Amino acid sequence: MCGLTGFWTPDRLPERLDVVAQRMADTLTHRGPDDAGVWVDEGVGLALGHRRLAILDLSPAGHQPMVSASGRYVIAFNGESYNHLVLRADLEKIGAGGTAWRGHSDTETLLAAFEAWGVEETLKKTVGMFAIALWDRATRTLTLARDRMGEKPLYYGWVRGSLVFASELKAIRAFPGFDNAIERRALALFMRHNYVPAPWSIYEGIWKLPPGCYVQFAGGVLPTGGRGDIKAYWSLREVAEAGLAQPFMGTEDEAVDELDRLLRQSLSGQMIADVPLGAFLSGGVDSSTVVALMQAMSSQPVKTFTIGFHEGEYDEAQHAKAVARHLGTDHTEWYVTPQDALDVIPKLPALYDEPFADSSQIPTHLVSMLAKRHVTVALSGDGGDELFGGYNRYFWAMRLWRRLSRVPLPLRRLAAAGVRTVSPAVWNNLFGLAAPLLPQRLRFALPGDKLHKAAGLFAARRPEEIYLRLVSHWEYPTDVVLGVEREPPTPLTDPAAWIACPDSERRMMYLDSITYLPDDILVKVDRAAMGVSLETRVPLLDHRVVAFAWRVPLSMKLRNGEGKWLLRQVLYRYVPNELIERPKMGFGVPIERWLRGPLRDWAEALLDEHRLRREGLFDPAPIRQKWAEHLSGRRNWAYHLWDVLMFQAWWEAARA
């Protein structure tokens, strides 16, 4: 795991190319504290910079940027190729590499593969997570590439006519003359999703390379701008639709056997490291499955890590401990205090380096801090919800749709209008008066708030519209972001981007897999862990596991009102189900209460009306209204306010 950066400029810079590249790379020291390097081609104005976190081949033979044996290719590589030893063996069979190997790093293997097989074929053969910048000195072609599911980040774009690229935006901001404006359309998308979805970035002219893709700038001549000719070497859409067209036809026991085999295959590559390795363990289905298989494949106790909270509704540590005890792992837990969590908040702008408002970023960084004290690599269970149907929204959306679809749309719209004519405060009072007569399941905090939110779903014309509302924060971002008339389309709003699928549940899983998973979940884990120089690996996202998951019938994912049936059956081979079966918990912190308590002054400064008006990006009125309602306790606007606060805190830090 490392950090890469570089640029290709047609202009003469005020400093030497190597000095600029080194300064850009040094902003990524947290991603690679073990080594640093730059490589320049003065003749064409190209430079590569690298920061290394040594995982495989800790010797100088793994130094980057690395030049191929023939001298043709130069690479800056972030990530891991889990099958590089297999690739080496294949290369040796055709006379490439062989006795000429300088070390045993996967970077050297990839360079030899690019020489032997070319760019696209090598990417297709590589199993791993990665972001790559590859310079072909013979054809003067720069290739930027990203792994299939988007585990590793890669930004690229234009600064004053120069092509710049990096693992994080902070390196791009270090390029001379950087003054790119805020991309207001991306800001609107951020306010809806709490992250900036690919291919957008928060800056004009800077983009995220989509997962499974590469882009080339060829012939030694730079274009004048744009995203370039992006090519997909792997497509989740094609994989998903192929799986639906040719579903798994075996028995349920055979499906469990196959998933067990594929997960072990994935782990056999991902458990290789020349440094200490462990795993995050929450005690939930996904992480417990990964750890159970790791322990079954290991001769030594696997090091596992979890954090606990003294607030019971947020604490999963006791469940993780029970799983760890059953499996016999070397388990470490840390019960964090509210102050431990609050101390992370000032670090968030630098950690995430782009507006990011998933509040589980805080506990994710805390568990990464814990793991880093003991290991350099940690495996996580991310991806199980998207592949095997674990999110509650898949059930809620369809349950609500089945009920709503029985009522004509005009009547539903009328009902929604009726609910909204009564303020949440009045609904709260009415529910309070009726509470003694209501069953326990209808007694909850802020019923008026929840009723108003539900009313927004009444006018849905298809399940996907309910899904969009469930994954949205600000329903109408253009009402709060100034200067944006229309929100840009995304896969969630463009039916042309949807897969051909007979059921809406799997369509939602697909949409989550191409949006929420790479742009929220994987960003969260990458930045939280790399902020403490910890490499994370995600075994469930091995592309062979992904392909099998899309062949599995829906009945093996969703069953009896519960998700991840097939994954659970694998887990139950190793862990008793009574240690696992409990309501799904989020990995969260009490942001709602903190905003009314210890974070109130910090938030007030960032949400100051005069400040918002002066900065000119947000309409202060709806923000101040939500802030007042939240402070009063009448409404819970924690998610909406956290979006604004995380942008404000990030922008303040970025301009410092």
Residue list for the binding site: 106, 307, 380-381
Q: Are 315 and 334 a contacting pair, CB within 8 Å?
A: no
Q: What would the two tokens of residue 647 be?
A: 């942008």
Binding residues for ATP: 307, 380-381
The CA distance from 384 to 293, in Å, is 15
CB 207 within 8 A of CB 484: no
Strands (E), 120-267: 128-136, 141-146, 155-159, 162-166, 206-208, 213-217, 229-232
- Sign of the C-alpha dihedral computed for residues 549, 552, 557 and 558 taken in this order: positive
Find tokens 């570089």 and name the residue. Answer: 6
Rounded Cα distance between 304 and 330, Å, is 6
The DSSP code for 445 is: S
- Residue 14, class by beta-carbon neighbours within 10 Å (0-12 exposed, 13-18 middle, 19+ buried)? exposed
Instruction: Give every CB contact of residue 365 below 8 A, 6+ residues apart in sequence.
Output: 344, 347, 351, 528, 531, 532
Out of 1, 2, 189, 285, pick the active-site residue: 2
Amino acid, single-letter form, for residue 567: L
The verdict on whether 2 is a catalytic residue reads yes
Task: Answer whether 74's CB lies under 8 Å from 140's CB.
Answer: no
**For residue 80, what are the β-bridge partners?**
129
CA dist list (Å): 38 to 47, 74, 76, 289: 7, 11, 9, 41
Helices (H), 227-282: 236-245, 252-270
**Separation CA 100–CA 69 (nearest Å):** 8
Q: H/E element holding 8?
A: strand 2-8
Cα 66 from Cα 71, distance rounded (Å): 10
> In 3D, which of 505, 547, 514, 496 has the Cα closest to residue 246?
547
Give the number of other Cβ atoms within 10 Å of residue 456's Cβ.
15
**CA–CA distance, 173 with 188 (Å, rounded to integer):** 22
Annotated binding-site residues for L-glutamine read 106
Give 347: exposed, middle or buried? Use CB within 10 Å, 0-12, 13-18, 19+. middle
All residues at 6 or more sequence positions from 166 whose CB lies less than 8 Å from its CB, including other chains: 3, 4, 5, 6, 24, 28, 154, 155, 156, 172
Do 77 and 132 meet the contact criterion of CB atoms below 8 Å apart?
yes
Q: Quick one: tokens of 212? A: 């499974």
Q: Which of 382, 376, 279 is nearest to 332 (CA)?
A: 279
Residue bearing tokens 């240690």: 579
Catalytically annotated residues? 2
